[in-house]
Each structure stands twice: as C-alpha cells, then as structure tokens.
Amino acid sequence: MLDFRRKSKVTCHRIVAMEIWVRSSHELMSSHVHKVIQALGESLYIFGKYMDYEEKYVTAKSKVESLSIENESLKSQVFALAEESKKDKEHLKTLEKSIDTKKEF
C-alpha cells in the first residue's frame, strides 16, 4: 500500500510540475482542480471496491470456519458409525455361529 502511495505521489508531482511550465495560472488552477477532483473520485471508487472485497473476505472467512467445525463434527460421526458398524458385524457373526450351533443339535 505504501509503495502505491509513493508512486501516486511521484506521478502527481510530475504532472503538477509539467502543468506549471506549460500553462497560465488560471488554466493551471482550473486544470489542477479538475485533476484533483478526478483523482479524489477515483480514490473513493477504489476505496469502495476495497471495502466491498474486505466485507466479502470476512464473510467467506466466517463461512470457512463454520464449515471447518461442521466438517470435524461429521468426521467424528463417521468414525463413531464405523466403530458401531464393526461391533454390529461382530455381533452378527456371533449370532450366525449361535444359529449354526443350534441347527447342528
């Protein structure tokens, strides 16, 4: 940001220096005021865009954090369901063995 400001300042100084040598004082003031107002308008436009992007960034960051928390919750649920599935499979094997044993009698 500082580099941009320095470049802008140097550019403005060059423009003003050229204007002083070429134009009369009335033309110079009129042109200078016009350029200052134009630069101010452009600066306000850029600042507005920056603020829009800043707002979008904050919103996106909040959503990412929320989704990250939800993702961790879902991971733990998947892990718990996988463990439950293992236990159910083992229980099913035990029941199948029990049924097979009863059929043999």
pTM of the model: 0.48
Predicted pLDDT at 1:
54
- For residue 12, give the H/E element and its range: helix 2-22
Domain that holds residue 88: 2-104
- pLDDT tens digit sequence for 15-59: 766 666 666 667 667 777 888 889 999 999 999 999 999 999 999
Percent share of the chain, pLDDT over 70: 76
**Into how many domains does the chain fold?**
1
Q: SS3 letters for 29-50?
A: HHHHHHHHHHHHHHHHHHHHHH
Percent share of the chain, pLDDT over 90: 50
